[in-house]
Amino acid sequence: MGTVNGQDNGGMWPTGLAEAIRATAGDISVLLRGAADTGVPVPRSRWSLGEVAAHLAQANELMADVAAGKARPYGDGTPGGLAEANEVALAAFAERGAVPLAAMIVEQADAFLDAAARPAPHGELLTPMGPMSMDVLGSYLLTHMLGHGYDLARALGRPHMVSRARAELSLPFLMVAMDRVVSPAAAGHTARYTVRLGGGACFGAAFTDGAVAVGPRPPGRPDCTILMEPVAFLLVALGRLGPWGALARGRVLAWGRKPWLAPRFATLFTPP
Instruction: Identify the three-state secondary structure at position 253.
Output: strand
DSSP element (H, E) containing 143: helix 134-156
- Cβ neighbors of 17 (< 8 A, separation 6 or more) are 2, 4, 135, 138, 139, 142, 169
What superfamily would CATH give domain 17-161? dinb family like domain (1.20.120.450)
- The type of residue at 5 is N
The residues spanned by each domain of the chain are: 17-161, 177-268
Angle among Cα 73, 149, 107 to the nearest 5 degrees reads: 60
Q: What is the mean pLDDT of residues 129-147?
A: 96
Predicted TM-score (pTM) above 0.85:
yes
Angstrom distance (rounded) from CA 63 to CA 68: 8
Q: What is the mean pLDDT of residues 255-263?
A: 94
Q: What is the mean pLDDT of residues 142-152?
A: 98
Which range is most confident: 2-11, 87-96, 197-206? Answer: 87-96
What CATH number has the domain spanning 177-268?
3.30.1050.10
**Residues 162-185: tens digit of each pLDDT:** 999 999 999 999 999 999 999 999
Candidates 241, 212, 213; CA nearest to 228 is: 241
* DSSP β-bridge partners for residue 127: 130
**Residues 36-76: tens digit of each pLDDT:** 999 999 998 999 999 999 999 999 999 999 999 998 989 88
Q: Residues in the chain, how many?
A: 272
Backbone angles phi, psi at 208, to 5 degrees: -130, 105
* DSSP β-bridge partners for residue 125: 132
**What confidence tier does 2 reach under pLDDT thresholds 50, 70, 90?**
low
**Residues 187-231: tens digit of each pLDDT:** 999 999 999 998 789 999 999 999 999 999 999 899 999 999 999
